[in-house]
């Protein structure tokens, strides 16, 4: 693509605002909208009147739980800004938004200790080659020097960071900045654009040194710039801009800007950086289409809204989308513009625009819409493994069907949510990324679907086994008028090795139990294993039918099945029943400064720690491998996050069943018996 492509095509560009929770994304979103005139006055964070806090759930929890869009113009360019959730639990929406953005603005705090919170965002952006810049917010409240902040941020970025601006301090406060490419100094003015001032003499030397750093970083990817620097020539300003723009588009360098969103400081500068350096949608589409089917627009979010029905949020990649556009032989069911919580009907959405399309029932984030149909993207961020579950039950009788319908809709719109019945306990489980994630879903069930549910800790799917063998006769004989019932089976019950399950052997000789009754004996045995003497499914048991007898008239399949059950119920309690608890293989990933804390937390959860290693692809992170009782994994993610500023996580898989005795086992058995009564 030629460098000047966006000067000829005035298509809508999209900037996604991302970064950790409370870094100031929504404040920056409002400030960008206000400075560019889309809103006349900023809402207050305190009363949740900001455009970015559109949803009921966002308002009540004082955090963004889903992406909010708003469109504005800055110097004749149309922009749609996406205010994306920052909480780790809601990142799936953010990942989807980033996949369709031309550029991302990563907002962060001026605090080296919190730089690690930016790591998950930078990693995703670098993995997908998405152009981005960093905006250090609250610069006026920085507790560390810019050098310390930059080096902490660099430690979590695979790409080199380049400082675009140098702050000007008067005492403790930042009163303006120097632009390192223009080499101009600006003084912040309250409620007005900054004014041009002379570069203060005491920072001139710093300015020259940082500018040189910036040029050298760019020269690493630009031979002619390198040659100029080696010859001590002053590169032409335009060459520097062209170089910077190209490097950003290719995700080779990441410029760092500074400001204070609450006071609109640095926001005009950010707008200009976006205007000059954000790739045009045509450039983004060139990059995207390598792994995206051809089409008009790509879905990146779906949403159930009570007044409009289902909406599919799309970005227009080619041509334009109109309310007359045909998709799979059908006219689309309405086209809408999105502005905060407002959804307004429109006739067309041009190249690059973000719009919502009504009544497409079967779209998923990543799908590309074309006249021929709706096709999934080849590469699209898959939801991470679910980490936290709660058992749901309806409060009002008869709401069960309503609940499943609502959950189907909720989980279609949020692919990191999942629901289903646990095969072992039969409980209805809602799975997601964390407690807040699930509680927001519970709120939505109430607010959007009018279903009240109770959410509780799920049961652990304990099993039981036996440790000793016994032989027991099960005899069933009944004479009630007419012809009676008779079955008689001698069963040898013995423990099997862990994981062998259930093995039934027939060792009848001489037809003492006729062949046709033997499957009935096996069925009777199997039934008895569904709930053993401790109250749980019995596993790893071998049962051999060794002897028995029958009656020519009174014997039947039913009678032998009953006899087997009687035999098993007599046998199992004598075989030293033992509780088995499920153990998961867990890989905990944390920044290495917290590795030992994570190990300690695991040990306190009865884990067997197998060791730790570097986390592949993650600089400065470790992975601790451990075997952890499933019971202890339930709220592990909550503890990991609180230990690691929210970034720690884990992967899991079921590993094996392990004997459990003592106080915890006694309680599990007592609970199961309590439930049965």
Summarize as ranges the residues that interact with Mg ion (CB under 5 A): 25-26, 64
Closest residue by beta carbon to ligand GDP: 24
Name the nearest CA neighbour of 645 among 233, 111, 238, 226.
111
Report how many residues bind ligand GDP under the rule CB under 6 A: 16
> Contact region for ligand GDP (CB under 6 A) — 22-30, 301-309, 472-480, 481-489?
22-30
User: What is the C-alpha separation between 340 and 297, in angstroms, rounded?
Assistant: 21
Minimum distance, C-beta of residue 310 to ligand GDP, in the bound complex (Å): 27
Q: Is 585 exposed, middle or buried (0-12, 13-18, 19+ CB in 10 A)?
A: middle
Q: Which 61-100 positions form the footprint of ligand GDP (CB under 6 A)?
A: 64, 86
Structure tokens at 407: 């959950």
Which residue, 86 or 112, is less far from ligand GDP as judged by CB?
Answer: 86
DSSP notation for 194-254: EEEEPPPGGGHHHHHHHHHHHHHHHHTT-HHHHHHHHTT----HHHHHHHHHHHHHTTS-E
Written as six digits, the tokens of 415 are 């692919």
Under rule CB under 6 A, residue 295 binds ligand GDP? no
Q: State yes or no: residue 24 binds ligand GDP (CB under 6 A).
A: yes
DSSP state of 296: S
Using rule CB under 6 A, residue 60 touches ligand GDP: no
Phi and psi (nearest 5°) for 165? -135, 150
Other CB atoms within 10 A of residue 644 CB: 20
Residue number with the smallest Cβ distance to Mg ion: 26
Stretch that binds ligand GDP, among 134-142, 316-324, 562-570, 638-646 (CB under 6 A): 134-142
- The correct pick among 12, 26, 394, 544 for binding ligand GDP (CB under 6 A) is 26
| 45 vs 643 by CB, closer to ligand GDP | 45
Residue whose CB is less far from ligand GDP, 164 or 476: 164
Grouping H, G, I as helix, E, B as strand and the rest as coil, residue 11 is: coil
Among 21, 169, 241, 652, binds ligand GDP (CB under 6 A): 21
Considering CB distances under 5 to 8 angstroms, the limit depending on partner class, which of Mg ion, ligand GDP, none binds residue 23? ligand GDP
Positions in 260-279 near ligand GDP (CB under 6 A): 260-262
- Minimum Å gap between C-beta 64 and ligand GDP is 6
- Please choose, from the candidates 163, 197, 156, 192, the residue with its C-alpha nearest in 3D space to the C-alpha of residue 180: 163
519: left (phi over 0), alpha (psi -120 to 50) or beta: alpha
242 to 261: interface string for ligand GDP, x by CB under 6 A: ------------------xx
Nearer to ligand GDP, 260 or 488 (CB): 260
Question: What CA–CA distance (Å, rounded) separates 354 from 298?
Answer: 10
d(CA 406, CA 428): 13
Shortest Å distance, C-beta 45 to Mg ion: 9
Closest CB 25 distance from ligand GDP, rounded Å? 3
Q: Rule CB under 6 A: say whether 120 interacts with ligand GDP.
A: no
Given a contact cutoff of 8 angstroms between Cβ atoms, the answer to whether 672 and 579 are in contact is no
**Judged by CB, which is closer to ligand GDP: 267, or 451?**
267
The count of other CB atoms within 10 Å of the CB of residue 409 is 18
The residue ranges that bind ligand GDP (CB under 6 A) are 21-27, 45, 64, 86, 137-138, 141, 260-262
């Amino acid at each position: 693509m030629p460098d000047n492509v966006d000067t000829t095509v005035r298509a809508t560009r999209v900037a996604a605002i991302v970064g950790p929770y409370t870094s100031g994304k929504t404040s920056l979103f409002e400030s960008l909208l206000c400075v560019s005139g889309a809103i006349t006055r900023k809402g207050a964070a305190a009363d949740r009147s900001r455009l970015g806090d559109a949803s009921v759930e966002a308002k009540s929890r004082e955090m963004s739980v889903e992406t909010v869009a708003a469109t504005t113009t800055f110097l004749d360019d149309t922009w749609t800004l996406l205010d994306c959730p920052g909480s780790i639990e809601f990142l799936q929406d953010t990942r989807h938004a980033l996949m369709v953005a031309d550029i991302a603005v990563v907002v962060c705090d001026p605090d080296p200790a919190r730089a690690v919170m930016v790591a998950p965002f930078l990693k995703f952006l670098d993995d997908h080659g998405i152009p981005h810049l960093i905006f250090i917010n609250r610069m006026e409240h920085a507790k560390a020097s810019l050098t310390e902040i930059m080096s902490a941020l660099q430690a979590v970025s695979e790409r080199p960071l380049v400082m675009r601006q140098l702050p000007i301090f008067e005492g403790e406060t930042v009163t303006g900045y120097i632009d390192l490419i223009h080499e101009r100094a600006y003084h912040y003015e309250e409620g007005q654009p900054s004014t041009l001032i002379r570069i203060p003499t005491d920072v001139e030397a710093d300015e020259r040194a940082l500018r040189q750093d910036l040029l050298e970083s760019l020269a690493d990817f630009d031979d002619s710039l390198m040659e100029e620097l080696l010859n001590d020539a002053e590169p032409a300003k335009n060459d520097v801009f062209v170089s910077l723009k190209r490097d950003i588009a290719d995700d080779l360098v990441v410029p760092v800007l500074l400001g204070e969103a609450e006071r609109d400081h640095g926001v005009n500068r950010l707008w200009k950086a976006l205007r000059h350096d954000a790739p045009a949608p045509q450039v983004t589409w060139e990059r995207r289409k390598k792994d995206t089917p051809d089409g008009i627009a790509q879905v990146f979010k779906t949403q159930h809204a009570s007044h409009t029905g289902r909406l599919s949020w799309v970005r227009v990649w080619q041509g334009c989308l109109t309310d007359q556009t045909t998709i799979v032989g059908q006219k689309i069911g309405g086209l809408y513009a999105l502005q905060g919580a407002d959804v307004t009907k429109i006739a067309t959405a041009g190249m690059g625009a973000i719009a919502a399309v009504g009544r497409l029932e079967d779209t998923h984030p990543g799908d590309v819409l074309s006249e021929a149909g709706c096709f999934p993207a080849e590469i699209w961020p898959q939801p991470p493994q679910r980490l936290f579950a709660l058992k749901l039950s309806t409060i009002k009788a008869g709401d069960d069907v309503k609940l499943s319908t609502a959950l189907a809709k909720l989980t279609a719109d949020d692919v990191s949510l999942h629901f289903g019945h646990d095969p072992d306990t039969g409980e209805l489980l809602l799975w997601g990324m964390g407690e807040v994630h699930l509680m927001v879903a519970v709120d939505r069930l109430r607010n959007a679907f009018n279903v009240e549910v109770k959410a509780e800790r799920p049961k652990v799917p304990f099993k039981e086994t036996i440790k000793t063998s016994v032989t027991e006769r099960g005899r069933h004989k009944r004479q009630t008028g007419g012809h009676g019932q008779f079955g008689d089976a001698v069963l040898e019950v013995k423990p099997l090795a862990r994981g062998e399950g259930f093995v039934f052997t027939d060792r009848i000789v001489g037809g003492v139990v006729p062949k046709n009754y033997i499957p009935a004996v096996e069925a009777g045995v199997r039934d008895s294993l569904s709930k053993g003497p401790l109250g749980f499914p019995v596993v790893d048991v071998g049962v051999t039918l060794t002897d028995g007898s029958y009656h020519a008239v009174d014997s039947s399949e039913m009678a032998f099945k009953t006899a087997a059950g009687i035999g098993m119920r007599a046998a199992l309690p004598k075989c030293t029943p033992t509780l088995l608890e499920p153990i998961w293989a867990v890989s905990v990933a944390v920044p290495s400064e917290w590795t030992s804390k994570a190990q300690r937390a695991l040990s306190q959860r009865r884990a067997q720690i197998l060791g730790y290693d570097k986390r592949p692809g993650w600089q400065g992170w470790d992975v601790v491998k451990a075997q952890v009782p499933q019971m202890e994994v339930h709220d592990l993610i909550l503890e990991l996050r609180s230990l690691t500023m929210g970034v720690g996580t884990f992967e899991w898989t079921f590993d094996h069943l392990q004997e459990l005795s003592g106080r915890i086992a006694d309680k599990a058995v007592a609970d199961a018996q309590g439930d049965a009564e």
